[in-house]
Amino acid sequence: MRSALTRPLARLAAILTALVVAVTITEAVTAAATTHSITHMAGTFNVRDYGAAGNGSTNDTGAVNKAIDAAANAGGGTVRFPSGSYRSAGTIHLKSHVTIQLDSGSTILGSPNDTYDAPESNPNDDYQDYGHSHFHNAMIWGDRLTDIAFTGSGTIDGGGNLITGNPKSGEADKIISLTRCDGLTVGGITLRRGGHFAMLTNACNNITSDHLRIDTQSDRDGWNVISAQHVTITNADISANDDALVFKSDWALGQTYPNGDVTVTDAKLSAACCNALMFGSETCGNFTGYHFERISINGADKSGLGMVSMDGTVISDVHYKDITMTNVRSAIMQKIGTRRRCGGSPGVGRIENITYDNVTSSGQSSSNFTATLWGESGTSNRIRNVTFTNVNLTVPGGSGCVGTGVPSNDPKDYNPKSIGTRPSYGWYIHDAHDIKFVDSSVQFVKNDCRPAVIANTGSGVTFQHFTYERGSSSSFDLGFQSVTDYCVADSGSPRINASGGSTSGCSTPPPGGRVEAENATISQGAVESDHAGFSGTGFVNYDNVTGSYVEFQLNAAQAGDTTLTLRFANGTTTDRPMDITVNGAVVSAGHSFPGTGAWTTWQSATLTVPLKAGANTIRAAATTANGGPNLDYAEV
C-alpha cells in the first residue's frame, strides 16, 4: 500500500515523462520542418516530388509547372528532372530565377495531343513569318524573365509531334520560346525534333551557351537568336534542316532592339536545305560587333556564311576567323535588298567593315552560286570595306561560256538563287567599294569557261597575292566593269578586262596629305552630300550612336609629332565630342567638336598627334548618343 507522498511523486514523474515526450516530438517536427526548409532554400525541386511520373506516357506538364512555381515562390531554384521520360502534353511555363536541370538519361518529350498553349494575337503579324510572330505555342515558354537556365546532360525532344508550318490552336511549333529575357544560360543539353524552331529567343540579352547540341535535321531551324546583345556561344553542335544558327532582328515585338557584342567559337554547324551561319533574312535593327572563330560547317544548300540586309539594317563590324566549310552551295554571300518588311518605314540598309581571315571552302555543290557581294546602287547602300585574308575557295566549275553582263536580281528575295547565274566562277562583286583580297585564292574542280572574278560598279577593289585558276576557254581572268581605282598586285600575270573604270596602279599614298571621310572606314554612318561646302564628293553623317566612328589611313614620312586637322560641321548648339585614337591609343579623349552655327558652316579642329613612319590608323569615335559631327576629311 503506497503512502500519500508516493502518489504525488508518481503523478509528477508522469507529468515530467509527458513533457519529455512532447519536447522530443516537437524537436523532431521542428527538425523535419527545418530539413525541408533547408532543402528548398538550397534550391532543388525534384519534379517527381510534385507528381511527375517520368514513365513516357503520363502527362507530367502539371507536375513540372508546380515544381517551377515552387522554385519561383522560394525566390528561385533548380527544377530537377531525374532519369526518366517526362511527357509534356501542354506548355511548360518558365519563370525567373529558375534552372531546368536535365540529369543524364532524362528526356522531356513532346506530345501528339493538341493541348499546348494557343498562339497569342499579334498586331505585327504582317512583318515576319507566322512562326516568328507567336511565342506561346511552344513546349516551354517565358516572357520578361531574368536569370534562367537549361543545364545538365539530358534531352528535350519534340518527338516528331511539333509543327514545321503554321500550327493550329493547341499545336506547338517550337521547343523553347523566350522573349524579353535577361540572363539565359543553356549548356550541356540536347534539343531534338523542334518543329519550326528548336529554340527561338527574341529580345533576350546576356546569353551564355556551352556544349549545346541541337538536332533538327528532320524538321527546320536550330536556333534563331533575334534582337540580342551580349551573347557568348561556345562548342555548339547544331545539325538542322533549315537554318542552323541565325541572327535576326524582326518586328514581332513592335519595335527594334539593339544587336551586338556576340561571340561564337568552336562550333559545328550544318543545314541540309538552307543556311549554316546566317544574318537574316529578318533584318530590322542594326547589327554590330560579331566575332565568329573556329567554326566548322559541313553542308548548307544555301549559304555557308550568309549575310543579308533586306529591311533597312546596317550590318557592321563582323569578323570571321578560322572557318572551314565543306559541301556548301554558296560559300560566302552578302546581299543588300529592298524588301523593307518592318514597321517605321525603313530605308535601304548597308553592309560594311567585315573581315574574313583563314577561311576555306571545298566540295561546293553548285557552280551557279559563285561567292557574291551584291550591294544596292547609290554610294550609301553599297557594300564597303570588306577584307578577305587567306580565304581559299575550291568550287565545282564545269560551266560553259556565258555573257559577262550583270545577272538578274530579285531585290526582295534574300536567297543565293535570287541572283541569276554569275558570269564568273570564283567571285562576283556588284555595287561595292573598298574590297580587298590578300593572300587568297580560288580554283575549280572542273574546267570553267568563265573568268575567276568580275567586279561591276564600285571602287577600290584590290587583289594582292591573289591566286586563281584559268579556264582553258576563258577570255580573261579578272574583270573590272565601271570600277575605279582597282588594283591587282603580286598576282602573277592575270589577263585583265577593264571597261569604264580606272586602275590606281596599287601605289602607296604619299606621306602626309588629305583623306576624304567618304573614302575612310565608316562604322555607323552614311556618306551624304546634301550640305554644301564640303571637300571631295561628300561627307560622313555619323549615326546618333555612342562609339560610331570614322577611321582614316594616313601616311607619315617619318616618326614624330604631327598636326592633325579634322574638318567638320555641327549644325546644332550641342558639342559632339569624339575620342581621337592613333594606332589604337587614345591621344585626345572627348575632343570637342562644338556647334558651327549651321550644317553648311565648316570648321577645322586641330591637334598634335604622334605618328610612326609609314601607315597610321587614325579614328574619330563619338562619345555620346548624339554621335559625331558631319566629318569632311582628315589631313596631316
pLDDT at 54 > cutoff 60 = yes
Identify the pLDDT of residue 367: 66
Identify the pLDDT of residue 38: 31
* Chain segment 194-235, per-residue pLDDT in tens: 999 999 999 999 999 999 999 999 999 999 999 999 999 999
Name 98's bridge partners.
Answer: 77
Cell of 199: 529554340
Give the H/E segment covering residue 431.
strand 427-438
Cell of 564: 592633325
Name 606's bridge partners.
Answer: 565
pLDDT average, residue stretch 356-385: 87
379-382 own/partner pairs: CB under 8 Å, 24+ apart: 379/518, 379/527, 379/537, 379/538, 380/350, 380/526, 380/527, 380/528, 381/336, 381/348, 381/349, 381/350, 381/431, 382/336, 382/350, 382/431, 382/432, 382/433, 382/458
The type of residue at 557 is A
The DSSP letter of residue 509 is P
3-state SS, 186-254, equals EECCEEECCCCEEEEEECCEEEEEECCEEEECCCCEEEEEECCEEEEEECCEEEECCCCEEEEECCCCC
Contact 138, 172 (CB under 8 A): yes
24 Cβ neighbours under 8 A, 6+ residues apart: none
pLDDT at 519 > cutoff 90 = no
pLDDT at 265 > cutoff 90 = yes
Identify the pLDDT of residue 141: 98
344 Cβ neighbours under 8 A, 6+ residues apart: 256
Identify the pLDDT of residue 559: 87
Contact 276, 247 (CB under 8 A): no
pLDDT at 371 > cutoff 90 = yes
139 Cβ neighbours under 8 A, 6+ residues apart: 88, 91, 92, 108, 110, 116, 156, 158, 162, 172, 174, 175, 176
* Higher per-residue pLDDT: 2 or 636: 636
| Least confident stretch, 28-32, 112-116, 160-164 | 28-32
Give the H/E segment covering residue 333.
strand 314-336
SS3 48: helix
Identify the pLDDT of residue 34: 34
Residue reference for cell 551580349: 230
Identify the pLDDT of residue 366: 66
Contact 425, 471 (CB under 8 A): yes
Backbone phi, psi, residue 144, to 5°: 55, 45
What CA–CA distance (Å, rounded) separates 563 from 191?
Answer: 59
| Least confident stretch, 32-36, 350-354, 570-574 | 32-36
What CA–CA distance (Å, rounded) separates 100 from 500?
Answer: 63
Identify the pLDDT of residue 512: 58
What CA–CA distance (Å, rounded) separates 65 from 57?
Answer: 17
* Chain segment 449-498, per-residue pLDDT in tens: 999 999 999 999 999 999 999 988 999 999 999 999 999 998 988 999 99
pLDDT at 440 > cutoff 60 = yes
